């Protein structure tokens, strides 16, 4: 089962809103209510006129839908605040359509319905009921404004909307629960596969290395120095080979290709400067990034010297990693282990590539 990520979900909702708005605009313009708009049509539709306020509201919604779609498609704008803002705007547009038509058109029904459906898709039952309640309250307010003496005759219409909202929210909640179950099953299956691979590979090699170390101890006790050195060299080769295979396996799990930099272990001079005032959890993550930077420099950079600095202020933690080694082969090649950790923390990683001048990484992490 292919999971829809949050950015993909927001793009689908934005595309659906744009298509919905476009269809409504076409329906309003083509609807034969005003021969001045469609002089070639003579049929009559419903009783409300297509005035400037109504048409302007529909066109403004089309502009709003287009801008939201372009924003999501171009910059990947997502997040709970963005979702709440667009949903609230959709509800207000439904109320605006109801207001400018003075209830003489049922066109505001699908506008309210769209806001309810997108809430069900995003959040499930609870938030959908909140959006439904807000929509019904706005609808009742419009009814009170139009027919204050006959409001009792129209109260069932918002009730129907609330019934629809409950059904959509319930189905959305069930979808989220089923998707969570599928993800749990897939995670368990992946953990089982990883455990099996590690048992058949790494664990078996460690067991063999343990036997080799025991043999080395016996050679040392017997004073067979030459044989001991030969076995230690073989042992080192086995460890290096297993280390490379394990790193390749981890990279395959992370979904990245093989490292472009050649593995050439060295022991450069590394200067580390830390000036941090942040939470313990964030400091721990920063130290892990620094540690991974040191490992990468020693194994891949071929550098003679490097400088790693980390400092914090009220809003961000800035980390820089610079060395005088071979650098990266291209602008798209980045240390995946550092990049994945930075992305998980909501930060950014920028890389400056200059041929022959080493690698230069700048990392920014939010302090909260």
pTM of the model: 0.55
What was the pLDDT predicted at 332? Answer: 58
Give the side-chain half-sphere CA count within 13 A for 91: 22
Give all strands of the β-sheet with 359-366 in edge-to-edge order. 269-275, 305-312, 316-323, 359-366, 348-353
Separation of alpha carbons 329 and 359, rounded Å = 10
Question: Cβ(62)–Cβ(29) under 8 Å?
Answer: no
Longest dimension (CA), the chain: 110
- Positive or negative: CA dihedral 303, 285, 183, 129: negative
Helix (H, G, I), strand (E, B) or coil at 296: helix
What was the pLDDT predicted at 130? Answer: 93
**Token pair belonging to 231:** 């076995």
Sequence-separated contacts (24+) of 63-66 with Cβ below 8 Å:
64/21, 64/89, 64/93, 65/14, 65/17, 65/18, 65/20, 65/21, 65/22, 66/18, 66/21
Question: Cβ(323)–Cβ(301) under 8 Å?
Answer: yes
Burial 234-245 (b: 16+ CB within 10 A, else e): ebeeeeeebeee
- Positive or negative: CA dihedral 56, 61, 62, 68: positive
**Residue found under tokens 């400092």:** 311
**Residue found under tokens 């313009």:** 29
For the domain 269-366, what is the CATH code?
3.30.565.10
What was the pLDDT predicted at 65? Answer: 92
**Token pair belonging to 165:** 């909202």
Helix (H, G, I), strand (E, B) or coil at 351: strand
What was the pLDDT predicted at 317? Answer: 92
Separation of alpha carbons 31 and 243, rounded Å = 71
CA 193 to chain centre: 26
What was the pLDDT predicted at 318? Answer: 93
Query: In the 8-state DSSP scheme, what is residue 199?
Result: I
263 dihedral zone (left: phi>0; alpha: psi -120 to 50; beta): beta
Query: In the 8-state DSSP scheme, what is residue 322?
Result: E
**Token pair belonging to 64:** 């709003």
Give per-10-residue mean pLDDT for the chain (368 aa). Answer: 62 91 81 44 46 81 92 73 88 86 69 91 90 89 76 78 90 89 87 79 78 85 86 82 77 64 67 90 89 82 87 90 79 73 86 71 87
**Token pair belonging to 103:** 């209830």
Q: Report the DSSP beta bridge partners of residue 350.
A: 362
What was the pLDDT predicted at 41? Answer: 38
The full set of domain ranges for the chain reads 269-366
What was the pLDDT predicted at 77? Answer: 59
Query: In the 8-state DSSP scheme, what is residue 151?
Result: G
CA 361 to chain centre: 23
Question: Cβ(336)–Cβ(251) under 8 Å?
Answer: yes
114 dihedral zone (left: phi>0; alpha: psi -120 to 50; beta): alpha
Strands (E), 44-172: none
Q: How far apart are the first and last CA of the chain?
A: 35
**Token pair belonging to 17:** 């809103």
User: What is the phi/psi pair of residue 349, to 5°?
Assistant: -130, 120
């Amino acid at each position: 089962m292919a999971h829809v990520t949050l950015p993909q979900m927001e793009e689908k909702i934005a595309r659906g809103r744009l298509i919905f708005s476009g269809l409504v605009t076409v329906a309003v313009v083509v609807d034969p209510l005003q021969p001045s708009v469609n002089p070639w049509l003579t049929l009559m539709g419903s009783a409300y006129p297509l005035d400037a306020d109504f048409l302007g509201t529909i066109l403004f919604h089309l502009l709003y839908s287009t801008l939201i779609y372009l924003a999501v498609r171009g910059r990947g704008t997502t997040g709970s605040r963005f979702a709440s803002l667009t949903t609230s705007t959709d509800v207000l547009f439904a109320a605006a359509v109801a207001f400018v038509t003075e209830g003489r058109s049922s066109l505001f029904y699908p506008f309210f319905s769209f806001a309810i459906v997108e809430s069900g898709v995003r959040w499930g039952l609870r938030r959908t009921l909140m959006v439904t309640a807000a929509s019904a309250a706005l609808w009742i307010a419009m009814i009170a404004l139009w027919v204050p003496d006959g409001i009792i005759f129209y109260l069932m219409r918002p009730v129907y909307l609330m019934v629809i909202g409950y059904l959509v929210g319930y189905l959305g909640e069930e979808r989220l629960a089923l998707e969570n179950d599928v993800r749990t099953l897939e995670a368990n299956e992946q953990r089982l596969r990883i455990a099996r691979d590690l048992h058949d590979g790494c664990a078996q090699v460690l067991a063999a290395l343990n036997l080799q170390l025991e043999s080395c101890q016996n050679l040392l006790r017997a004073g067979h120095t030459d044989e001991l050195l030969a076995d230690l060299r073989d042992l080192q080769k086995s460890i290096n080979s297993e280390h490379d295979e394990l790193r390749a396996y981890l990279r395959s799990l992370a979904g990245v290709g093989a490292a472009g930099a050649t593995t050439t272990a060295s022991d450069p001079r590394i200067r580390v400067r830390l000036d941090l005032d942040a939470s313990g959890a964030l400091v721990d993550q920063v130290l892990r990034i620094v540690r991974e930077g040191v490992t990468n420099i020693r194994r891949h950079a071929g550098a003679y010297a490097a400088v790693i600095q980390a400092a914090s202020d009220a809003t961000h933690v800035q980390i820089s990693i610079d060395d005088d080694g071979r650098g990266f082969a291209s602008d798209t090649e980045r240390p995946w282990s550092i990049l994945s950790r930075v992305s998980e923390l909501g930060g950014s990683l920028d890389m400056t590539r200059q041929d022959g001048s080493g690698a230069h990484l700048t990392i920014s992490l939010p302090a909260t």
